[in-house]
Amino acid sequence: MTAPRLSPSGLPIEVAYHPPADAQDVAARVGEPGQFPFTRGVQATMYRGRLWTMRQYAGFGTAEATNARFKLLLEKGQTGLSTAFDLPTQMGLDSDDPRALGEVGRVGVAIDTVDDMHALLADLPLEKVSTSMTINATASTLLAMYIVVAEERGIARSALSGTVQNDLLKEYISRGTYIYPAAPSLALIAEMFRFCAAEVPQWNPISISGYHMREAGATAVQELAFTLANTLAYVRAALDAGLTIGQFAPRLSFFFACHNDLFEEVAKFRAARRMYATMLRERFHADDASCRLRFHTQTGGVTLQAQQPLNNVVRVTVQALAAVLGGTQSLHTNGYDEALALPTAEAATLALRTQQIVGYESGAADTVDPLAGSWYVESLTDELERRARAVIEEIDAIGGAVAAVEAGWFQDAIAKSAYEEQLRIEAGERVIVGVNKFADGSEPPIIPTPDFSELEKGQRARVQGARAARDAARCSAALAAVHEAAPDYLPAHTGARRELMPRIIDAVRARATVGEISNALETVWGRYRPVG
């Protein structure tokens, strides 16, 4: 008797799969490519029309160093930019803030003023290339900086394309780079939906992210359910702000992880599209344009191992293939050395080449949804959807995603899943090649790192020089305007809200810093305090 086997999410896997009794019903649920419920993809021809955007993540201390990496990757064939910011920038702290000490430029690029953003984007064709920015609590300010850079270079807002992550709920759940409480944060996100729809129509004002919850230990089922539960909260916040579903839903975007179980990951992406389309149709009467789930994928950071790091090349390849077979619109492939340090130019180039080989040599892009009709994949898709729907119903019963965050429900669920997975790894039930099986005792290589202390010293001088050189009266007036509009975004406010994004853009033009704009809001909104 063969022992039962489970997927990483705990789905039972049969020894072999056979045609389902309701084969015709399965075909109806799956549908056609480019048609509701979009199980098979959001475009009728998918990669036959155009390959996914190849978007390698980069952020290295200074704006100039990151700009150099962007240019290298574009030269190697990358088709979109993706920016990592350092923790002070993410947390609304200037580089010379005492709380930023030791963190400036360490996990991404330091951006204090729009002049830093100019240096980051120097000589890049902003009207031709899309830019993704992994930024959340300060997303409004960084988007404003991007717009002002384009404006000062003579590029129209309407020509800009890209994405800000701007997903605060997952920050409370799993990542931690939050500043403000949930209510004003969601109100600001709704304001960004309004602004982008009116002023930057090719920009995605949010990337609703399962990735970081998965990295924290969520299963594929939880990643799917938690992401869509958070989506419902953002949709309701926008509707409460007076927007219609058609104004903002077509520009909602998503961000998923891709781990090592190829078939479960493919099924997850297919289930995500079908669940999203059905939810928006059933709950909000959305049309087809609003029901298309478009998503970026990043290969799994937590699946990378410091031991035998070249094995990560194979892991990333499997994950990239799963993302493509699952119909991603955009993809980042991790460098094999990222478990050790920021990726070297060699590792980043190889990661990009991995995408290019999958796209141009593997045949995976030659037909839409190649695994459709596989008895195994269709069964996994159905089971993932069934289990994720049950989790969403549980979240609904709590009162929705915001209430679940405030109760610590998501955090507890992820901690439990992560603990159980670690027990499986330590028991050898989950094999990790080179770690708990086939280990050789070799030491991980040492990757050189920048001199962060010198980098921090230079960035502190830079922001101080920017403050000294600007028109102080103009900057103070612009910051005061941001502060004056902030109370409109608190729950106690009734009636129309003063538009905040134009005021933030004015502050950026006046060379206000990220920290100053964040402080203008925080003094009104306060700070989020986690449960427990």
**Strand, helix or coil at 127?**
coil
Q: State the pLDDT at residue 446.
A: 83
The C-alpha atoms of residue 364 and residue 359 are separated, in whole angstroms, by 7
In 326-471, beta strands by DSSP E: 330-332
Q: Sign of torsion, CA 493 496 501 504?
A: negative
The C-alpha atoms of residue 218 and residue 411 are separated, in whole angstroms, by 10
The pLDDT of 236-250, averaged and rounded, is 97
CB atoms within 10 A of CB 236: 17
Using one digit for the tens of pLDDT, what is the confidence trace for 423-454?
A: 999 999 999 999 999 999 888 888 777 788 89
Contact 327, 369 (CB under 8 A): yes
Q: State the pLDDT at residue 532.
A: 65
The pLDDT of 332-357, averaged and rounded, is 93
Instruction: Answer yes or no: is pLDDT of 2 > 80.
Output: no
**Predicted confidence band of residue 343 (pLDDT cuts 50, 70, 90):** confident
CB atoms within 10 A of CB 386: 12
Q: How many residues does the chain have?
A: 532
Burial class (CB in 10 A: 0-12, 13-18, 19+), 431: exposed
The C-alpha atoms of residue 128 and residue 50 are separated, in whole angstroms, by 16
Cis amide linkage into residue 450, ω under 30° from 0: no
Q: State the pLDDT at residue 3.
A: 65
Using one digit for the tens of pLDDT, what is the confidence trace for 76-87?
A: 999 899 999 999
Q: State the pLDDT at residue 18.
A: 85
Using one digit for the tens of pLDDT, what is the confidence trace for 391-423?
A: 999 999 999 999 999 999 999 999 999 999 999
What average pLDDT is seen over the chain?
A: 95
Q: State the pLDDT at residue 383.
A: 96
Q: State the pLDDT at residue 385.
A: 98
In the block, which residue shows the tokens 């890049």?
124
Q: State the pLDDT at residue 511.
A: 98
In 248-385, beta strands by DSSP E: 253-258, 295-299, 330-332
* 295-299 and 130-134 strand pairing: unpaired
Using one digit for the tens of pLDDT, what is the confidence trace for 459-477?
A: 999 999 999 999 999 999 9
Q: State the pLDDT at residue 87.
A: 96
CB atoms within 10 A of CB 10: 12
Structure tokens at 116: 């830093």
Contact 324, 370 (CB under 8 A): no
Three-class HEC string of 232-267: HHHHHHHHHCCCCHHHHHHHCEEEEEECCCHHHHHH
The pLDDT of 90-111, averaged and rounded, is 96
Return the closest-CA partner of residue 204 out of 136, 132, 149: 132
In the block, which residue shows the tokens 């010293």?
457
The C-alpha atoms of residue 67 and residue 472 are separated, in whole angstroms, by 29
Q: Sign of torsion, CA 298 300 302 307?
A: negative
* 93-97, 262-266, 276-280, 452-456: segment of lowest average pLDDT: 452-456
